[in-house]
Structure 1
Amino acid sequence: MKWIVLVGGIANFLLGLLILKKGAPIPLKKPFTIFAFLTSLWVFSNFIFLVSPSTFWFRTAYALGALIPSSALIWVLCFSTGKKPSLSLSYIGYGIGFLFFTLCYVNNIFIAGIIPQVSGFKENYGPFFPVYSIYMSGILLYLLYRIFLCSRKFTGIKREQAKYIFLGGATFAIISFVVSFLLPLFGYAKYGILDSPSSLFFVGFTVLAIIQYRLLDINVAITRGTIFAVVYALVLGIPIGVGYWGRTYLSGRIGVNWWLVPVGMALLLASLGPAIYGFIRRKTEAALFKERQRYQENLIALAKQMTLTKDLRSLLILIIRNVTKEIGISYARIYLLDNKANEYVREVHYGKERRRQFGDSLPNEAPLVQMLYRSRDIGPLLKEEVISHFQTREPEHLKEVEAQLRSMGAAVLLPAFIGEELIAFLVLGTKRSREIYTPDDLGMFKILAGQSALAIENALFYQELKESQSAMVQASKLSSIGELAAGFAHQIDNPLAVISAGCEL
């Protein structure tokens, strides 16, 4: 199990490097990277101690561990406030960590050393080690409490991020408690080395939450993870159980080839595993998430209904009313391309009207519109994805785009294309339930946007046809009036000609 510790240290380091290189919200980038790197150093020191036990590496492992709570506290506060840490907070946080770091090397304060024994060694702690334990566990519990409050207070994607971070932190805390305190009570102290690599759950779930905006709903993720774990525990466990407990029986019945039975069962169950998992997952989600599946089916039905609506304004109202009703959205807008003005104009909206400083029209050259053009193959865009793009690639337009998104009340942007042309885009606000837009939602929105584009194109064509027919009718009327006027003039001219001739005589 020593190599599990090494793998955990390498993984923590790479995840910290990923945040530093790939990009994360600016306030979080440096504090979280420091936390991830310190965590990897802590895990590495535990690995070196396991390979070559000595008092120095024993103390180093605890000393580096003392830096983790303070660094974690700083990035969690950054996450909860959305701001960079103040210098005073950084000095105090890291100062406390370095104080405990230093005291770990002072004899008989926290760590006394290790005592060699025949079967290995015995860890010897100092009289003030309970203070160290209270410091470590107290800050960890406070962090979990703080993240839990964020999961209750925030809305949308940030709320779901907080849930993922809390899940990772809680998993780390539970594993640490079980392997470090609970299992040793029953004589299984050897599993204590899994304490440090279990930090990978905390770091890994946090990285997933930070860089992956299209998160699964946490309930869906837990459901799928549980089903996967149960199914594959059976897939692996049944053959192992048959081989372990049934070896004597199989040897008596088959002989030396008894192993073919568990191996054959393993191959059969491994081939059936994905199908079993998929079947159970679909049935479970159908039972647990009926409401979500219902509105997704209704929106697909809406896509078919849109093609029957010919009037453009009626079509736009139909789209926005049904989308907001089915999903439970607080606010929505539809912007339509005006070719004459070369801009996108807000045609209809739903919900409380927002400030109009930026939101009523957008020129075709606007950075936000140009990004929507580039997203043709991606589909719907989350607000966080848009902001992240401009933070990392076009920072000169960031403030302008943030102001536009804020004015629109945008949580999701749905571009609707006909060929290469962005014919319209739909702006959706947050859900009233404060839930996130899941990947399933966004996939369904992509289909809806495509159908909306076709319906809008048909309505525009029908509108142009009506206008053309109206113009033709008007021209025909004018032509008829002209002919009638000419006829009247001719009829009037004849009597006048007779009278004129009579007068001349």
Structure 2
Amino acid sequence: MLLAITSILTSLGNLFLGVLVLRKNSKSPINRFFFAFTILLAAYILTSYASVYLESPLLFRSTFVISVLLKTIGFLWVFSLCVGYNKNVALIAYIVALAIISGLVLEGFMIGNIKYGDQFFDYETGRGLIASIIHNIAILVYGTFLLTKTILSQRGVVRKKLLLIAIGLLGFAFAAFVTSIVLPALKITSLTFLDIPLSLIFISLSAYAMIKYRS
């Protein structure tokens, strides 16, 4: 019950912040990407919970699909913040995401034989999963490079905005590392669900930065 309440409240909180940012300037591609990111984040959280609660392999597979979209939109948001909106880059990102999603949907190519047992899902990995791994690494490395480079090169409003976003991202990454890796390693599993509400750290600081330091 606690996990359900946490998942619902966190999802609503993320959506609320996304709407606040969108209302400030609904024509801005950056604000639209952020709003889409909060929608996908809420969908990911709720689908993850529902997949376990319903013991549904289909919903579990759906979390992989949503994750690809979430990372793609997140990358385009960061790219637009740092470089500016670029239709060609967005198109390429969408095409790559569609290719990865097609591989995830195809049984056995990336993941297959999904089974639920002992409060978690087990599945087999296919040869195509390497494409998803490379995709994740590329987004992480290039996104981090862009954000760091822009923070170091910019001044004024843009730098303040990106610094707040970076602080929020690092704070969430650290908190997620503690709750998802450190605590389970110490056999403390009752607090692992905290990585869900802690996503609000990143979203809240990002929303604040985008509203306060509009460029």
Classify the TM-score, shorter chain. 0.7 to 0.9
Give the drift of 1:195.
Answer: 4.3
Alpha-carbon displacement from aligned partner over 1:402-455 (angstroms, at most 9, x marks no partner): xxxxxxxxxxxxxxxxxxxxxxxxxxxxxxxxxxxxxxxxxxxxxxxxxxxxxx
Match of 1:54 in 2: 56
Match of 1:13 among 4, 12, 15: 15
- The answer to whether the aligner puts 1:142 opposite 2:147 as a matched pair is no
Question: Does structure 2 retain, via aligned residues, the 8 Å contact 1:42–1:196?
Answer: no
TM-score, normalization: structure 1? 0.38
Give the drift of 1:162.
Answer: 0.8
- The answer to whether the aligner puts 1:66 opposite 2:65 as a matched pair is no
What amino acid is the match of 1:86? N
Question: Does structure 1 retain, via aligned residues, the 8 Å contact 2:6–2:196?
Answer: no
What amino acid is the match of 2:122? E
- Where do 5+ consecutive residues of structure 2 fail to align? none
TM-score, normalization: structure 2? 0.83
Question: Does structure 1 retain, via aligned residues, the 8 Å contact 2:179–2:191?
Answer: yes
Give the drift of 1:210.
Answer: 0.5
Pairing 1:316-465 to 2, within 5 Å after superposition: none
CA RMSD of aligned residues (A): 2.7
Match of 2:108 in 1: 108
Q: Distance in 1 between matches of 2:131 and 2:80?
A: 27
Structure with greater helix percent:
2
Question: Does structure 1 retain, via aligned residues, the 8 Å contact 2:164–2:209?
Answer: yes
What amino acid is the match of 2:32? K
Q: Distance in 1 between matches of 2:195 and 2:102?
A: 22
Q: Distance in 1 between matches of 2:196 and 2:136?
A: 13
Question: Does structure 2 retain, via aligned residues, the 8 Å contact 1:179–1:192?
Answer: yes
Question: Does structure 2 retain, via aligned residues, the 8 Å contact 1:69–1:139?
Answer: yes
**Secondary structure, counterpart of 1:104 in structure 2:** helix
Match of 2:28 in 1: 26
Q: Distance in 2 between matches of 1:197 and 1:138?
A: 27
Match of 1:476 in 2: none
Pairing 1:192-203 to 2, within 5 Å after superposition: 192-203=192-203
Q: Distance in 1 between matches of 2:9 and 2:38?
A: 14
How much identity, in percent, do the aligned residues show? 22
Give the drift of 1:71.
Answer: 0.9
Q: Distance in 2 between matches of 1:199 and 1:14?
A: 13
Question: Does structure 2 retain, via aligned residues, the 8 Å contact 1:43–1:197?
Answer: no
- Where do 5+ consecutive residues of structure 1 fail to align? 214-383, 389-505
Give the drift of 1:189.
Answer: 5.4
**Secondary structure, counterpart of 1:107 in structure 2:** coil
Alpha-carbon displacement from aligned partner over 1:141-183 (angstroms, at most 9, x marks no partner): 4323322222211111221111111011112322333333444
Question: Does structure 1 retain, via aligned residues, the 8 Å contact 2:80–2:86?
Answer: no
Change (3 A) 1:111 1:191: farther
Aligned length, in residue pairs: 212
Pairing 1:3-402 to 2, within 5 Å after superposition: 3-23=5-25, 26-81=28-83, 83=84, 85-117=85-117, 119-128=118-127, 129=129, 131-188=131-188, 191-213=191-213
Q: Distance in 1 between matches of 2:33 and 2:172?
A: 19
Change (3 A) 1:27 1:21: same
Q: Distance in 1 between matches of 2:177 and 2:131?
A: 17
Q: Distance in 2 between matches of 1:196 and 1:16?
A: 17
